[in-house]
């Protein structure tokens, strides 16, 4: 083996360090060793080793604590765990920290060499070093905050305060993507409104909503060149845009973490399923008894559990029955063998999904999409009352929480008192007890024509803030909004504000040019509500 490859051994037993040195040096590796754990950590961080062997049980510090410290400083360095005291807990934690191997003492020279050959041959060490340098030059590294999700949209916070956002698409959608429509640098995006769009092979379109409001400072143009990258659902490769968020704490309130429980008694199966779940942003609690599973689910909001059927043998169906009795709202996903005799027994209990182990990698994104999606796509934003009075809205007047008089001027047949955006907006204003007056009818003009200008001038006389709302084809994704802010002086000399909101309509079907999906509909109504109620001069 080429002597350029260097290996570090951290073990408080000198005889173990000597064994590693003898075995590896004879094969041409450069070997350093430390019996002092903290000296070993310092050496690992100050040198570019190709691999570190780390003992778990040391007198001065627990090896897993040292591993955690190492990972905080270097997420990519290959580490192989060595222990004479194996346990399911340490094995699981090792997998979570992306250990490259888990070796039991006493070991043979063949076991060590096999591990080294596998790790170094599979790891492209030069590209890893280049990757670290590039990330440092680009100045973007992910923070240690967990991935947050808002439906399919996800948020990955960076150490510099910026945020990468993207969409975790289920396989039944991502496998059909033919083209992507991406935002542009300096675009302003709003939470819930479209971030990107995809054209599928059947010519249908889907929208990926933004989970945050902010300014786009970088776009992942690799997706435009190769849309198939988004199928990987990799936070490192499949992100859509990097943004400077306006109010991340507010937007995070609408997100959730993907917490799941994994009930499994086989370490080999844990090592197979756990990394995939973690790579998809899940926070995984691994347990090996049904009592631990019930306890874990009790603490979680979504009550999602993956059960490895084969490792539980014939007890699996009984465990499912216990979980359903204790946690009726649990979403139980069974990972089973193909043509298992227990499949029918599992299905007789209440389970959410039965996944054949050989199809786990292919189906897991579909499963996560199903278990974590809300039911909002089934909502109907429509009043049941019938009235001969016209339902179109041309103006909405309120006094907001800052005692400012605000008018919303609607240009075109866009908002309706009994349907979609207008219905949500009016109901929310009433629900929050704002003094409100709704003028029905249609302004057939536009803000920049003579009639529209007259309407605006007339309303300037009696309002502190004017908001205009119009639909205009700006070659954006349907539902995206552009916002412009201006100031004017009233007749009494006081400063006032005018806000122009321009929404991209659906121009494919003129009859439904303001009909959007429910996520976009709610987000547009929320945006107008915030502008009306929160705005100050």
Q: Is residue 246 located within the same domain as residue 265?
A: no
Domain boundary among 252, 279, 295: 252
pLDDT of residue 238: 95
Within 10 angstroms of residue 511's Cβ, the number of other Cβ atoms is 7
What is the residue range of 87's domain?
6-134
Any idea which residue has 């009494």 for tokens?
492
Half-sphere exposure of 471 (CA within 13 A, CB side): 20
Q: Terminal CA-to-CA distance of the chain, rounded, Å?
A: 71
Same domain, 225 and 324: no
Phi, psi of 59 (to 5 degrees): -65, -45
pLDDT at 379: 54
Do residues 73 and 197 share a domain?
no
User: For position 56, what pLDDT does the model report?
Assistant: 92
154 found inside a domain: yes
Last residue of a domain, one of 224, 252, 280: 252
152 exposure class (CB count in 10 Å sphere: 0-12, 13-18, 19+): buried
Single out the residue in 230, 252, 274 at which a domain terminates.
252
Contact between 168 and 231 under an 8 Å Cβ cutoff? The reply is: no
Q: Please indicate, yes or no, whether residues 283 and 244 belong to a single structural domain of this protein.
A: no
Q: Is residue 48 part of a domain?
A: yes
> Is residue 484 domain-shared with residue 521, that is, in the same domain?
yes
Same domain, 216 and 236: yes
Closest CA to 371 of 319, 303, 273: 303
Q: Are residues 247 and 299 in the same domain?
A: no
Q: Confirm whether pTM is higher than 0.75.
A: yes
Q: What pLDDT score was predicted for residue 382?
A: 57
85 with 166, same domain? no
- Provide long-range contacts, Cβ within 8 A and 24+ apart, for 246-250: 246/212, 246/213, 246/214, 246/215, 247/213, 248/157, 248/163, 248/212
Separation of alpha carbons 346 and 332, rounded Å: 10
Q: What pLDDT, on the 0 to 100 scale, is given for residue 409? A: 97
CA–CA separation, 90 and 56 (whole Å):
9
Q: How many domains does the chain fold into? A: 4
Low-confidence ranges of the chain (pLDDT < 50): 1, 124-138, 376-378, 386
* Residues paired with residue 101 on neighbouring β-strands, in sequence order: 80
d(CA 24, CA 34): 15
The pair phi, psi for residue 97, each rounded to 5°, is: -90, 10
CATH number for 122: 3.40.50.2300
pLDDT at residue 359, as a whole number: 84
In a domain, 125, yes or no: yes
Same-domain check for residues 421 and 492: yes
């Amino acid at each position: 083996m080429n002597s350029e490859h260097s290996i570090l051994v951290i073990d408080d037993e000198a005889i173990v360090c000597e064994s590693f040195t003898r075995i590896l040096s004879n094969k041409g590796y450069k070997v350093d060793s430390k019996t002092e754990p903290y000296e070993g950590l310092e050496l690992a961080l100050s040198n570019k080793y190709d691999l570190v062997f780390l003992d778990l049980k040391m007198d001065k510090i627990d090896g897993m604590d040292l591993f955690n410290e190492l990972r905080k400083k270097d997420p990519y360095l290959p580490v192989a765990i060595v222990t004479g005291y194996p346990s399911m807990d340490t094995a699981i934690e090792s997998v979570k920290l992306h250990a490259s191997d888990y070796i039991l003492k006493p070991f043979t020279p063949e076991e060590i060499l096999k591990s080294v050959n596998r790790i170094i041959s599979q790891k492209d060490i030069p590209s890893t070093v280049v990757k670290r340098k590039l990330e440092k030059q680009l100045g973007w590294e992910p923070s240690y905050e967990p991935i947050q999700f808002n439906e399919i949209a996800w948020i990955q916070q960076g150490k510099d305060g910026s945020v990468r956002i993207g969409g975790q698409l289920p396989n039944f959608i991502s496998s059909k993507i033919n083209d992507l429509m991406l935002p542009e640098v300096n675009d302003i995006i709003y939470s819930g409104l479209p971030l990107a769009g995809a054209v599928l092979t059947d010519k249908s379109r889907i929208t990926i909503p933004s989970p945050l409001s902010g300014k786009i400072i970088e776009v992942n143009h690799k997706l435009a060149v190769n849309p198939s990258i988004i199928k990987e659902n990799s936070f490192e490769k499949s992100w859509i845009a990097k943004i400077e968020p306006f109010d991340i704490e507010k937007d995070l309130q609408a997100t959730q973490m993907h917490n799941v429980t994994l009930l499994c008694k086989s370490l080999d199966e844990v090592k197979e399923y756990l990394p995939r779940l973690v790579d998809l942003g899940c926070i995984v609690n691994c347990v090996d008894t049904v009592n631990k599973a019930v306890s874990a689910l009790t603490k979680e909001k979504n009550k999602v559990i993956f059960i490895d059927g084969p490792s539980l043998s014939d007890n699996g169906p009984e465990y499912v029955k216990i979980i359903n009795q204790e946690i009726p709202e649990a979403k139980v996903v069974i990972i089973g063998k193909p043509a298992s005799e227990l499949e029918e027994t599992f299905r007789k209990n209440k389970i959410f999904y039965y996944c054949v182990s050989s199809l786990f990698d292919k189906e897991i994104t579909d499963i996560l999409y199903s278990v974590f999606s809300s039911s909002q796509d089934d909502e109907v934003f429509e009043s049941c009352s019938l009235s001969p009075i016209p339902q179109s809205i041309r103006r909405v007047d309120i006094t907001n929480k800052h005692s400012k008089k605000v008018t919303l001027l609607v240009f075109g047949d866009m908002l309706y008192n009994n349907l979609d955006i207008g219905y949500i907006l009016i109901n929310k204003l009433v629900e929050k007890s704002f003094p409100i007056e709704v003028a029905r009818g249609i302004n057939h003009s536009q803000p920049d024509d003579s009639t529209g200008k007259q309407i605006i001038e007339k309303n300037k006389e009696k309002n502190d803030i004017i908001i205009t709302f119009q639909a205009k084809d700006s070659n954006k994704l349907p539902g995206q909004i552009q916002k412009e802010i201006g100031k004017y002086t009233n007749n009494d000399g006081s400063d006032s504000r005018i806000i122009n909101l321009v929404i991209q309509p659906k121009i494919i079907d003129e009859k439904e040019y303001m009909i959007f999906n429910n996520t976009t509909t709610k987000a547009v109504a929320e945006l107008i509500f915030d502008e009306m109620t929160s705005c100050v001069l």
